[in-house]
Amino acid sequence: MSSESHYLTDLRITMTIGKNNLLDIITKASIKDVFIESVTTIEEETHNIYDITLRTDDSVHLENFIADLKSLPSIISVERKSNSWDV
């Protein structure tokens, strides 16, 4: 990743409850050369939500990463942050 330009964004990832969810996300990020800046976990009764701030080279790189995340069997949804999320 070039040190001159970075694309910073927030994702909300909703997944079924599982032991390795965060590991699965981090593994996909590592493979795609996506840098995770921060993670907040929200545990619900039937699912987990991960609010993640991440850094990529550009929006195309981000879209490829999102597509990879959506291939995980435990993914319910992946959303880019708009103005705010209700927690």
Q: Which domains does the chain have, with CATH numbers?
A: 7-80 (3.30.70.260)
- Distance of alpha carbon 83 from alpha carbon 80, whole angstroms: 10
Mean pLDDT of 38-67: 94
Q: What letter represents residue 3's amino acid?
A: S
Q: How confident is the model at residue 4 (pLDDT cuts 50, 70, 90)?
A: low
Mean pLDDT of 20-45: 94
Mean pLDDT of the chain: 88
Strands (E), 1-74: 7-16, 35-43, 47-56
- Distance of alpha carbon 2 from alpha carbon 75, whole angstroms: 30
Mean pLDDT of 10-17: 96
Q: Please say whether the beta carbons of 14 and 41 come within 8 A.
A: no
